[in-house]
Amino acid sequence: MNFSESINNAILEIKNNKFRFSLTMLGILIGVGSIVLMMSITKGFDNYIKGELSNLGSNIFYIQKYPSGIVIGGNFRRRKDLTLDDAYAIEKYCPNVKFVAATAFDFGKRIFFKDKKTNPDVRIYAITENYFPLMNYNIDKGRALTYYDIIYKKNYCLIGKSLEEKLFGNINPINKKVKISNQLFKIIGTIKKRGSFLGQDLDNVIFIPITSLYKITHKIKNDINIAVSVSDLSKYEETIKEVEKIMRKRRKLQPGEKNDFEIVTQEDIKKSSNNIINAIFIATVGIASLSLLVGGIGIMNIMLVVVRERRKEIGIRKAIGATNSDIVKQFLTESIFICMIGGMLGFIIGIIIAYLIKILLNFPIGISYISGISALLFSSIIGIFFGLYPAIKASKINPIEAIHDLSI
């Protein structure tokens, strides 16, 4: 029996036992589909992070209280907060710095304008005057915040496109006043549309002076982060060392004493995101592997049933000259083919779900030929591994006993 005949036999078996083979291939379909889906999501997320960091530029680094990424354990909460004076000290005493921006955040706020109001999901960015040029935000209408807006704690704000559309429609919002936590803020500008990510509206934001945040949060001190851009990229490492010296001096750290703050580069952010992506991917592969194992065991059981049902056929084939090797090849081919169907269906379903996620959540996905090749490779390996035992068992059938069963 040649290769095409083995494939035809496999197709015939599937047609005759649709329900049985559908259940058998389900485990492989789910396992391969999960792996393909996660490969698409993780690649897309990785591309998105790299794109965002590239847009910001490689000349930026951050000073913050906590390390980058997921923090487990440690005494980081006991560290002193960074201050606005730290940011201005870096700007004043570090000659290689281009921009310095301090930021603090508050989430889940509702914004009011006359009889209109937003959902309680608006993000407040409390910033200094250099935040917009440093982070590549573009002003649509009006103007940005100035140094004097910051030091005089003005109740001025800029709003994102979503807030502008929700509260003002076609009305020009400049010089209108919105209310945040019983404080009135005058709109001096709007931000150009940025879109959404992971279902989160990036334009559902409002920017206020960092010195005015306490009026909303009612906290005397708020945790801040500091972003720094370097004017000359060739002096990037030198600038980091200069900033570290300034911060250590301001925080009165002794020689040999560890930093009680973090300096985070773009590479650190990439590494942190890669670690998270890899951990999620490994966990998904582990879960998917269980599904593949179940599917593989199902394939082996089905092929054992097929061998028993086709015992007479095997006996006749061996009687007319088929070798043990021929029988093994026949049943292995059928096993691999059945697994590959499950693998390709899993690949297709994984891609479809990935595109649905892209459409519904505006999530970047990355489809590559590697995931399709991997689906076929995984399926083939499963077909070989779990189909080998039934194939060998089929090849050891005694043709005389099998033909004798036929004559009974």
Q: What is the pLDDT of residues 14-67, one digit of tens each?
A: 677 677 777 777 878 888 888 888 888 877 877 777 776 666 667 889 999 888
The rounded mean pLDDT for the chain is 84
3-state helix, strand, coil in the chain (%, to 5): 60, 15, 25
Whether the per-residue pLDDT at 163 is higher than 90: the answer is: yes
Last residue of a domain, one of 260, 287, 315: 260
Banded pLDDT at 124 (limits 50, 70, 90): very high
Q: Looking at the 3D structure of the chain, how many domains does it have?
A: 2
Q: How far apart are CA 380 and CA 19, in angstroms?
A: 22
- Domain co-membership, 36 together with 137: no
Residue 290 placed within a domain:
yes
- Domain co-membership, 145 together with 100: yes
Residue 337 placed within a domain:
yes
Strands (E), 110-165: 111-113, 116-117, 122-127, 139-142, 156-159
Q: How far apart are CA 309 and CA 330, in angstroms?
A: 15
Q: What is the pLDDT of residue 8?
A: 72
In eight-state DSSP terms, residue 257 is: P
- Domain co-membership, 230 together with 324: no
Over residues 388-408, the mean pLDDT reads 76
Helix (H, G, I), strand (E, B) or coil at 92: helix
Residue 280 placed within a domain:
yes
Q: Please report, for residues 56, 191, 376, the alpha-carbon distance to residue 207 in angstroms, rounded to integers and kept in the order given.
A: 19, 9, 50
Helix (H, G, I), strand (E, B) or coil at 185: strand
* Bridge partners (DSSP) listed for residue 189: 142, 158
Distance in Å from the first CA to the final CA of the chain: 26
Q: What is the pLDDT of residue 173?
A: 94
Residue 70 placed within a domain:
no
Residue 60 placed within a domain:
no
Whether the per-residue pLDDT at 395 is higher than 70: the answer is: yes
Residue 72 placed within a domain:
no
- Domain co-membership, 238 together with 364: no
Residue 187 token pair: 């709109």
* Dihedral-angle region of residue 74 (phi above 0 means left; psi in -120 to 50 means alpha; beta otherwise): left
Whether the per-residue pLDDT at 112 is higher than 90: the answer is: yes
Residue 67 placed within a domain:
no
- Domain co-membership, 312 together with 237: no
Spell out the residues 6+ positions from residue 75 whose beta carbon is closer than 8 angstroms to its own: none
Whether the per-residue pLDDT at 179 is higher than 70: the answer is: yes
Q: How far apart are CA 225 and CA 81, in angstroms?
A: 9
Last residue of a domain, one of 260, 290, 313: 260
Helix (H, G, I), strand (E, B) or coil at 208: strand
- Domain co-membership, 239 together with 291: no
CB atoms < 10 A from the CB of 267, how many? 11
Q: How far apart are CA 159 and CA 197, in angstroms?
A: 18
Over residues 374-388, the mean pLDDT reads 82
Helix (H, G, I), strand (E, B) or coil at 99: strand
Q: What is the pLDDT of residue 129?
A: 93
Over residues 271-275, the mean pLDDT reads 80
Whether the per-residue pLDDT at 191 is higher than 90: the answer is: yes
272 close to 88: Cβ distance less than 8 angstroms: no
- Domain co-membership, 121 together with 225: yes
Q: What is the pLDDT of residue 366?
A: 76
- Domain co-membership, 21 together with 106: no
Q: Is the dihedral of CA 379, 382, 388, 394 positive or negative?
A: negative
- Domain co-membership, 357 together with 386: yes
Over residues 89-100, the mean pLDDT reads 91
- Domain co-membership, 93 together with 172: yes
- Domain co-membership, 194 together with 237: yes
Range of the structural domain that residue 21 is part of: 3-51+272-407
Over residues 305-330, the mean pLDDT reads 82
- Domain co-membership, 289 together with 209: no
Residue 165 placed within a domain:
yes
Over residues 99-119, the mean pLDDT reads 91
Q: What is the pLDDT of residue 182?
A: 86
